[in-house]
Amino acid sequence: MCGIIGIIGGRSVSRLVYHGLFSVQHRGQSSAGKLTYDGNIHVTKDAGLVRDVFNEEKKIDTPGNIGIGHTRYSTAGMDDIESLKRNAQPEYLVNPFLATVHNGNIYNCSEMAKKTKRKPRTVCDIQWLLLTMADNLYKKELNADIIFDACEKVMHQVKGSYSALYLADSGENPFLFAITDPRKIRPLVLGQCDDMYCLTSETRVFKRINFDYVKDIPGGSVVVIDKKGNIYEKQIIKKQELPCMFEFVYFAKPDSRINGRSVHKVRDEIGRLLAKEQSVEADIVVPVPESGRRYAHGFSRESGIPIDEGIMKDKDERSFIHQTQETRDKVVEEGLSFIRSVLKGKRVVLLDDSIVRGTNIKKIVRGIKNAGAKEVHVRIGCPPLIAPCYLGIDMRSRKEFIARDKKGEIRTWDQIANEIGADSLGYISIPELKKAIGSDICRGCIDFPDGYPPEMQNDVKSLFKIDGKLARSYECI
């Protein structure tokens, strides 16, 4: 899971890409990068947040009327600083000149390595989108049809999820182009401002850089934009789209829209349906900030239980996407405080989006009880997570999930409630989650293996069998 942005038009794009990266910072905190092009390549990338990587004016202001940017959430390679630096994006080649950024996960990397003689510079799966595309564009004078043909060949080879942006040039006419996987697991949207065009992960980027939303890019599509603003689009592979349910539940920001659906309204509706499915007698509804807030409002309205702010968040960091458990714990411990005057003597319904490892929710339940609450009833806007995601969310092994015991068996809700110290626990069901989102979804992590796209189910079952041999099982094959 990452944030991507690409802009092309009649003036310098560097500051637009830079500001756009802040709007997708929540999608990746391990590294950030930006590349602009004016016949020369101007690139800055490093481990860290956008504000840390672009800490000088000369890194922010670079020439070129075309550029791409990236915030990375690591789903491949090691998590030490040197590895995060090495695997930072954008990645590029000079023969032919081709640069790319990627959101998603390619899980057949060893198979892709046999399809090219080019040697990858990093272990990141973006290499197989870059190298194989370069093979198909080598020594060709680019136009939309040539790019369509190259993308079709790549799309029939790679397996996994991808919304990827490319910057290419074979002379005086650079192109910005994009590809999406046939199931459109990861979001990609197009925006416009006069003669400028932007492709990016979330619609909220457009608000920051004053662009207008044009459309969501369909699954299995290629979109090509030249420097004159001509747009060429072709759907290469047409299948039913299955957007990642975790985009709606957690990853996308609430002020974004995915496939025309307001993320804010989806989460509010999940909370409402959750109150009907998992009712409870209580005095107050309390959200886990900020992730539980929309769920709590929906739950409160439907249940009639008043909502109150019993927990304060002191940091604007996302604990789930930190690279290690140690740093995740630190964000929770340093980032939350509990308001005794709100919680003391109350039966509390605690609302959050999901439970993965259980470490965070356990500490929050304990904090609420230490503040004097009589009871804590946990309600979750996502069904129990029971299997790794092989398509871009860094849930690496089934051993990480609190919903499974040490033997790998699925726990009951009462067992999980006991583990986290809650008086009761309730999750939304898969049918009600789908109803709230308003479409079918990729749900492999909550309904394994049937929740994965049909063509991937044999692959993910094979990956599941070797789970635990490495940090991420798809890196074993």
Catalytic residue numbers read 2
For 197-259, the DSSP string reads EEEES-THHHHHHT-EEEEEPPTTEEEEEETT--EEEEE-S------BHHIIIIIS-TT-EET
Torsion of CA 245, 247, 248, 253, to 10 degrees: 170
Cα–Cα distance for residue pair 12/1, rounded to 1 Å: 28
Of 44, 58, 5, the closest CA to residue 196 belongs to: 5
Q: Angle at CA 76, nearest 5°, toward 70 and 80? A: 85
CB 103, CB 392: distance < 8 Å = yes
Cα–Cα distance for residue pair 274/433, rounded to 1 Å: 9
Cα–Cα distance for residue pair 74/412, rounded to 1 Å: 31
Tokens of 201: 């992960």
Which of left, alpha, beta for 186 (phi over 0: left; psi -120 to 50: alpha)? beta
User: Burial code of 52-76, b = ≥16 C-beta within 10 A, e = fewer?
Assistant: ebbeeeebeebebbbbbbbbbbbbb
Strands across the sheet containing 91-94? 91-94, 97-106, 160-169, 175-180, 221-226, 231-235
Cα–Cα distance for residue pair 124/295, rounded to 1 Å: 35
Amino acid identity of residue 319, one-letter, is: S
Sequence-distant contacts of 255-259: CB under 8 A, at least 24 apart: 255/204, 255/207, 256/202, 256/203, 256/204, 257/203, 257/213, 258/187, 258/202, 258/216, 259/184, 259/187, 259/216, 259/439
Torsion of CA 75, 79, 85, 88, to 10 degrees: 10
Cα–Cα distance for residue pair 270/276, rounded to 1 Å: 10
Tokens of 219: 């699954």
DSSP at 410: B
DSSP at 396: -
Of 271, 273, 253, 272, the closest CA to residue 263 belongs to: 253
Cα–Cα distance for residue pair 79/135, rounded to 1 Å: 30
Helices (H), ranges, 38-123 = 50-53, 57-60, 81-86, 109-113
Residue 287, SS3? Answer: strand
